[in-house]
Structure 1
Amino acid sequence: MANSPQAKKRARQNERRFEINKARRSRIRTYLRKAEEAIASGDKDAAAAAVRAVQPELMRGVTKGVFHKNTAARKMSRLVARVKALG
């Protein structure tokens, strides 16, 4: 258990940050799931639109420190490749 005032404050900040990051991660995963479903449906236009919607969300996650830059790049690359393969 935190004893010093500084450690107590850090514990509070960590809890708040954890909740914010959890919500952000969940939001990004929802966008990713929608893109996956659009690709699975076989509709190239809908899939392309879904992937375009995912990209800024993923990059925002990178700037906020929720995802690593290479993880986001890998996810985008794979999604775009799968959309291209639909055509």
Structure 2
Amino acid sequence: MRVEIVDNRPEDETRATLVEDVEEVHIDDKDLSRKTQIGTRLSLEERAELIAFLRANNDVFAWISTDMLGISASVSQHKLSTNPLKKSVA
């Protein structure tokens, strides 16, 4: 099965851009896949405080859908209902 991605947005459409550079920060030393990004314009003190705060509160992040207790799977998961007997059209 071939999937073609079509972007119908006009070429002159303005796109969101970052206001500043960001750096990746690991917020769980036991699981290095748990990371986020913070701005690079922070002072060393602000950076240290923010990283400490994120690490202290890393348990509130939803890394996978099962981390979102009380949220129905029908809300957190997307299902594309297609007929497998029909030919895909791009």
Mark yes or no: TM-score above 0.5: no
Which is bigger in relative contact order (C-alpha 8 A, separation at least 6)?
Answer: 1
Instruction: Give the structure with the larger helix fraction.
Output: 1
Instruction: Give the structure with the larger strand fraction.
Output: 2
